[in-house]
Amino acid sequence: MSEAVEQVQEEEIDLGPCNAILDKYVDMPGALMPSLQAIQDHYGYIPEPTVHLTAERLNVYASQIYGVLTFYAQFHLEPRGKYIVRVCMGTACHVKGAGRIGDTIKDRLGVGHAETTEDLKFTAEYVACIGACGMAPVIMVNDDTYGSMTVQKMDEVLEKYQKMD
């Protein structure tokens, strides 16, 4: 775990927004999933104190919540980067050089699969399929899709997002 991630986790978490989210779901049957999704949308991940507050407010065990959080890939227990770079590793992308694209990300950003840069700007993820095989190799940065990737194009995409903010 990077120092920046540890620092974010050690910071005091403002539970006010979590309480406001849970207010909407407290009396709703089947509220766990949508409440966790809303909490993650707000914080960018599920901070540990919000798990315990959610357990208390929704009257479920924290262990049940952790079971859900660790079962579903959509949930994250550590801070993630502002830009999530997903590299498709499906068959078409693999054959057309997705491994080189992943290597480029590792070389340029210093992070591999499921790792986040020290500055919390980028998180890299290697995914099974993005569903754009005709554009292989493909990456996504948040909701933006980039096809026919090369090392040079990967450099250009990373540079674009590094300059943002």
3-state secondary structure 50-82: HHHHHHHHHCCCHHHHHHHHHHCCCCCCCCCCC
Do residues 141 and 85 make contact, with C-beta atoms less than 8 angstroms apart?
Answer: yes
Cα 9–Cα 13–Cα 19 angle in degrees, nearest 5: 140
Q: What is the pLDDT of residue 165?
A: 74
Residue with tokens 């049957």: 29
Domains, the chain, in order of start with CATH, read 3-71 (no CATH), 83-163 (3.40.30.10)
Report the sign of the C-alpha dihedral through residues 107, 111, 113, 116, in that order. Answer: negative
Tell me the residue type at 159. Answer: E
Q: What is the pLDDT of residue 33?
A: 97
In the chain (165 residues long), the average pLDDT of successive 10-residue segments reads: 50 92 94 97 95 97 96 92 96 96 96 94 95 96 96 96 89
Q: What is the pLDDT of residue 3?
A: 55
| 49 φ, ψ (degrees, to nearest 5) | -60, -30
Q: What is the pLDDT of residue 11?
A: 66
Q: What is the pLDDT of residue 9?
A: 47
- Whole-angstrom distance, CA of residue 22 vs CA of residue 26: 6
